[in-house]
């Protein structure tokens, strides 16, 4: 007997898994701000002065690799932020960093699209970041790669190019907070669930995207993310 929903329920957000016919059902998308020292400096802060900043995007902001993103409304300054994304296969609360690797299902590559002008205005006014970070189609993500294939990641090149020109390049070894530390800290604020994705922060080199741009980015050993930006 089917449930009598008053309006059509939204479909489960899914992420493809490399080398598998099963799909990863996305629960929440968490994000870490300011996690590479060079990017913290380019944004005008001291890397060691503060604990990680967490924010989130709606799960249905996810866009699979290969799908174009429409230039969003209400911004004149859409920015790219290439990031390692961690996918959780198990959840928990107050997870110690030493146990955190056991929660990892796999890794992907994400672009934390940001309306930089709205974020700057929100920071200045002490307001929340939702409209700057959590807008529709703000989370392009590559296919997932299982941790059995990647191993636990603590180093590897992360890069992004726009129209074939390199914009961001770093090593995930340069993250201020490691993946286990991020999971531990996040789980002190939220009960983590299987299906959660965590964007782990971007290195320096963030910059503007325009309609017509082609974005490619990757993390060594994980995969490649590709998408275009198209006119609104």
Instruction: Provide the binding-site residues for Mn ion, judged by CB under 5 A.
Output: 81, 112, 202
Of the pair 138, 187, the CB lying nearest Mn ion is at 138
Nearest residue (beta carbon) to Mn ion: 112
Q: Which is nearer to Mn ion, 30 or 105 (CB)?
A: 30
Instruction: Name 102's Cβ contacts closer than 8 Å, sequence gap at least 6.
Output: 90
Least distance CB 82 / Mn ion (angstroms): 9
Measured from the CB atom, the residue of 50 and 94 that comes closer to Mn ion is: 50
Nearest approach, Cβ of residue 197 and Mn ion (Å): 13
Find the shortest distance in angstroms from Cβ 61 to Mn ion: 13
Residue 78 Cβ vs Mn ion, minimum distance, rounded to whole Å: 13
Q: How far is the CB of 92 from Mn ion (least distance, A)?
A: 24
Which regions of 6-156 does DSSP assign to beta strands (E)?
13-16, 23-26, 29-33, 53-57, 62-64, 69-70, 78-80, 82-88, 104-111, 114-115, 139-141, 145-146
Nearer to Mn ion, 24 or 55 (CB): 55
When the beta carbons of 81 and 196 are compared against Mn ion, the nearer one is: 81
Backbone angles phi, psi at 68, to 5 degrees: -70, 150
Q: Which residues are bridge partners to 87 per DSSP?
A: 106, 197
């Amino acid at each position: 007997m089917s449930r009598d929903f008053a309006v059509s329920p939204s479909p489960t957000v899914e992420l493809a898994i490399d080398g598998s016919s099963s799909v990863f059902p996305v629960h929440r998308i968490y994000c870490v701000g300011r996690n590479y020292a060079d990017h913290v400096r380019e944004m005008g802060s001291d890397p060691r002065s503060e604990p990680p900043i967490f924010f989130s995007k709606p799960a249905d902001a996810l866009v699979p690799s290969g799908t174009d993103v429409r230039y969003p409304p209400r911004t004149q300054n859409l920015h790219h932020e290439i990031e390692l994304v961690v996918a959780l296969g198990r959840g928990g609360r107050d997870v110690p960093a030493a146990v955190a690797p056991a929660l990892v299902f796999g890794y992907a590559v994400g672009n934390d699209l940001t309306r930089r002008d709205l974020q700057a205005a929100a920071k200045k006014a002490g307001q929340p970041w939702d409209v700057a970070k959590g807008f529709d189609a703000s989370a392009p993500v590559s296919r997932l790669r299982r941790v059995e294939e990647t191993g636990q990641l603590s180093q590897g090149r992360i890069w992004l190019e726009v129209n074939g020109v390199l914009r961001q390049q770093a090593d995930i070894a340069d993250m201020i907070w490691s993946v286990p530390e991020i999971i531990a800290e996040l789980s002190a604020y939220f009960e983590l669930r299987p299906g959660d994705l965590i964007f782990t922060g971007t290195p320096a080199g963030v910059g503007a995207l325009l309609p017509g741009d082609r974005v490619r980015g990757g993390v060594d050993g994980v995969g490649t993310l590709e998408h275009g930006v198209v006119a609104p």
